[in-house]
A and B are shown apart, each in its own frame.
Chain A
Amino acid sequence: MDDILILEQLEADEAKGFKILFDKYYKSLCLQAFILLDNSEEAEDVVQTFFLKLWQEKQYLQIETSLKSYLKSAIRNTCLNKIKQRKTYSEGSMEDAYLIADENSDNGLEDKELQIQVENALNSLPEQCRNIFITVTLENKKYQEAADQFGVSINTVKTQLKRAFSKMREQMIGFK
């Protein structure tokens, strides 16, 4: 549904409009938060808390810009504050995160096709290789942590990751 219609719906029937808004934006806002925060749980937390507040404070009734840019900048600011609260962060990684967030926010990383592509690539990997890759990408594990978790040596982790990366590159280049 068009954003303008969503806003109209919100005025006519708040609950219904709010649900439509949620359905349309929840996942993409989660993705935005995840790219910025690099932490899946925090990302969902941020977005859920945001929606909660949005409903409770009826903030959507005062939106002056477009709905989309309102939502995106709200998540972005919340994430920025979160990152600042963290004890350690490097300037570089944050700038990097911003770039990525802006790059990817519109070009459809949520695409089903991309997900299928990634899944195919992952499925073609041997089990241990896949598990190590998933752990490292999603949980930001260091080599030693991953090695401990899987009960293997650091070198095994490195070899497996290299395999996963080259497979991923292969598949994703084909996709582009």
Chain B
Amino acid sequence: MKNILKENIEQLIIDYLIGDITDEDRVLLERLISEDEEVKELYQQSRESFLGAKAALFLKQVDQHAAWDKLSKTITPSLEVKTAKTIHFKKWLVAASILLPLAMVSIFIARNYFSNKQQPQLTYKNEKVKLFLASGESIALDRTAKNKTVNTNMAVLHNEQGTLQYELKDQKDALSYNTLVVPRTKDYKIKLSDGTEVWLNSDSELRFPLEFNADQRVVYLKGEAFFKVTKNPKKPFIVKVNESLDVQVLGTSFNVNSYASNALKVALVEGSVKLNSKGEESLLKPGFMATYSPAGGFSQSTFDDQLVLSWMRGIYFFNNANLNEINEIVQRWYDVKIMAEPGADISISGAIEKDKPLEEFLQNLSATSQLKYKVKENNIIILNK
């Protein structure tokens, strides 16, 4: 075997074993195997280790106990219950002939359930909400931390029940900006110095000063947040989104969603809001939602607060959603990705609740629709069946 060729031959062998090989290459490799002892040996070693690995991986995932549970529950109580022996055999046979069709049906129903049950468990990351202060300090805000008060160089922070409040310590730091980072799977609420409350959704960031300057209140948002702005006609409150959009308000509550940079969404619940992007303006009335895209400018529509604001209650509703729409939420809330086998038809309707494990949502789906899934590498794969 020529050294120059060795790399290529290895590749051909892998192609061959995986079954992703052209006819031409197959013929070439088969010829090489029959003509060259070294190639033959390499092929045999590769094949054996490939099949060995395959078999071992497969056996590792075979769950004999789960299979027995499934079997014994499905076929007959007599496998489990000792007293079943007292039932006369013929009677049992009669009963079985009646029950068998039922049992077959329940196998199919149970298959979903049990196949989910033997799955590896999803693990959820526990990244903490973090506050990065202008002074360079960073503080992890743990909802469950015992110590609710944190003393930093700039301010005293009170972190209670998922809400952050603070008291300024040194006036010279007042106007510099700090960043609150809410990772995937978490959410958080902060009360700013003017009393304005901001609910931050997962995978979102808010930049804010500990105190606002004299003429306006400016904060920066990435991701999604609901604002309840304290009224102050003399000091407009401005949310800067993605550097392209300013949301200017006086006193009001509204939701800003900037997850998709080509469709920034501002939904107004009460009060009034003025949107401004590079000179283009749009006024929003309560009950309306403005969508801004850099290419198309502003457009307005009514919105369903059940759908738009439900994230604050930790719930999302899906209505015939496709995989992308589902993933947008699932990745943000659970940091888990849902993938599908080629050809699997995905259209999902249902509600997903954040404080419940993702499995519960998926199991509900498998129970109510034909959807089957498996857990793999901490991702969900929807099976094509």
Contact = CB atoms under 8 A, between A and B. Distances in A.
Interface in B65-105: 67-68, 70-71, 74-76, 78-79, 82, 84-85, 96, 100
Nearest to B19: A140
Contact of B59 (A52, A115, A142): A115
Given A162-B10, A162-B11, A165-B46, A137 B53 contact: yes
B136 interface: no
Contacts of A110: 59
Contacts of B53: 118, 121-122, 133, 137, 168, 172
A31 B79 contact: no
Q: For chain A, which range describes its interface: under 10, 10 to 19, 20 to 34, or 35 or more residues?
A: 35 or more
Nearest to A133: B53
B257 to A, nearest CB: 25
B203 to A, nearest CB: 19
B79 to A, nearest CB: 5
Interface in A130-162: 131, 133-134, 136-138, 140, 142-143, 145, 149, 158, 161-162
B59 A31 contact: yes
B52 A109 contact: yes
A35 B54 CA distance: 9
Nearest to A131: B377
A31 B55 contact: yes
Given A19-B79, A48-B71, A118-B53, A40 B14 contact: no
B175 interface: no
B20 A137 contact: no
A30 interface: yes
A43 interface: yes
Q: For chain B, which range describes its interface: under 10, 10 to 19, 20 to 34, or 35 or more residues?
A: 35 or more
B46 A44 contact: no
A166 B45 CA distance: 10
A100 B58 CA distance: 15
B339 interface: yes
B295 interface: no
B79 A18 contact: yes
Contacts of B76: 55
A98 interface: no
B48 interface: yes
A52 B71 contact: yes
Contacts of A173: 45, 49
Interface of B: 10-11, 13-14, 18-20, 45-46, 48-62, 64, 67-68, 70-71, 74-76, 78-79, 82, 84-85, 96, 100, 107, 339, 342, 377
24 contacts: A14-B78, A18-B79, A19-B68, A23-B68, A26-B68, A30-B58, A31-B55, A31-B58, A44-B62, A48-B67, A48-B70, A51-B71, A56-B100, A110-B59, A133-B53, A138-B57, A138-B58, A143-B18, A143-B20, A161-B18, A168-B50, A169-B45, A169-B49, A173-B49
